Amino acid sequence: MNAQVARVGSPFGLHRVVEPAGVLPQQAHRLDADPEPYADEVVIDVDRLNLDAASYRQLREQHGTGDAVRAAVLGIVAERGKMQNPVTGSGGMLLGTVAAVGPDSPLALEVGDRVATLVSLTLTPLRITDGLADWDGLSEQVPCRGTAVLFGRSIAAVLPNDLPDGIALSVMDVCGAPALTDRVVREAGVGASVLVLGGGGKSGSLSLAAARRAGATRVVALVPTVAEADAVRAAGLADEVVIADARDPLAVHAAIGTPVEVTVVCVDVPGCEHGAIMATADGGTVVFFSMATSFPAAALGAEGLAADVRMLVGNGYVPGHAAFALDLLRAEPGVRALFAARETQ
């Protein structure tokens, strides 16, 4: 910190909103990404961005790899002062080293700490200084040099020493999913049946493990390909593994057979709402973690199907979610194997 008196801002980051006035940083079109911290802020020297799955898929489909996708991400950050995909509305999170801590910061971080941010890039002031020169566009993990700012009400976790940075970042990117799955399955009671759409992915594999730990006696993973099915079976995370297109509600309904009490949606493509609803028994719960979810489609679809289901939005935060997810990774060899395989792809 400089010797000068630190500037006082809002713990919600309102002082960083450039336009439009009067909104929170996530809703803002543009943020001030100046790396000089206010009194309760923390500045991060960024090492890596982790784009959320829905955003990365959209960027790859539109721009491909290499120069075009680099230019797309750089353009978004330059225009908006944050990484918020204008198509999906989503962002991701980042990894870096604490460079400065305001005197009133409540985050219990120290200069030099290696951290992963547990708040979305859609509300994190961000500057990129290296042109993303080391990113080939082939992965949602983006080597990056720049700075980011955390507010007083932000969340970050110090990286564990026993895991590679890439794996730790991947886990923390989706740590809200297994923590909320655990809570919902426990509410449903011991012996609940659980379906995870996208069970072969990061959030999906952790949610499968969380469901079983919470007492589910029927755990079903739905995946789109034979290769993913083989990987999930080898990991031993599900009692049943079925193959279907999660966007095809009749295919999902047929593949699942007996409806489940809890359905967890972890896919990164739009159009999976109706299949999830049809797979869930009356009185059951659907948890949507995908940023590709259309919530009007979910609400109107349930109404049109006369489905008496509770639908929850996974907001990415549950107290203790990072520690819970990392513990699952350490304790479940199958989860670790799936994450390690993704790192080598």
In this structure, the answer to whether residues 189 and 149 fall within a common structural domain is: no
Check whether residue 34 and residue 106 sit in a common domain: yes
Beta strands in the chain (DSSP E): 17-19, 30-31, 42-51, 92-101, 114-117, 126-128, 141-150, 156-158, 193-197, 218-223, 240-243, 260-265, 280-288, 310-313
**Do 147 and 64 reside in the same domain of the chain?**
yes
Q: Which of 159, 192, 214 represents a domain boundary (last residue)?
A: 159
The residue assigned the tokens 């680099």 is: 70
Q: Output the pLDDT for position 345.
A: 61
Q: Are strands 156-158 and 193-197 parallel, antiparallel or unpaired?
A: unpaired
* Overall number of domains in the chain: 2
Which structure tokens are listed for 106?
Answer: 């409540």
Say if 289 falls within a structural domain: yes
Q: Is residue 1 part of a domain?
A: no
Rounded-to-integer distance, Cα 235 and Cα 292, Å: 26
Question: What is the spatial distance between Cα 53 and Cα 108, in angstroms, rounded to a whole number?
Answer: 29
Residue 166 included in any domain: no
pLDDT, tens digit (0-9, with 9 covering 90-100), for 291-303 = 888 989 999 999 9
Clarify whether residues 149 and 114 are in a common domain: yes
Answer yes or no: do 41 and 70 share one domain.
Answer: yes
195 and 110 co-located in one domain = no
Assess if residue 187 is contained within a domain.
Answer: yes
CATH of the domain at 236: 3.40.50.720
Per-residue confidence (pLDDT) for residue 5, from 0 to 100: 57
Question: Does a structural domain hold residue 165?
Answer: no
Domain residues for 242?
A: 173-344
In a domain, 67, yes or no: yes
Res 312: pLDDT: 94
Last residue of a domain, one of 125, 159, 193: 159
Query: In the chain, which stretches have pLDDT less than 50?
Result: 1-3
pLDDT at position 1 is 45
Using the 3D structure, point to which of 131, 159, 187 is the last residue of a domain: 159
Per-residue pLDDT, 48: 96
In a domain, 217, yes or no: yes
- Residues 120 and 232 occupy one common structural domain: no
Closest CA to 309 of 269, 265, 267, 243: 265
DSSP lists the bridge partners of residue 327 as none
C-alpha distances in Å from residue 25, one per residue of 122, 130, 175, 281, 329:
8, 24, 22, 38, 32
| Residue at 3 is within a domain | no
* Structure tokens given for 87: 């198509």
Instruction: Specify whether 98 is located in the same domain as 45.
Output: yes
* DSSP calls for 237-270: --SEEEE--TT-HHHHHHHH-SPEEEEEE--SSS
- 237 plus 337 within the same structural domain: yes
Is residue 181 domain-shared with residue 321, that is, in the same domain?
yes
Which pLDDT tens digit goes with each residue over 105-126? 999 999 999 999 999 999 999 9
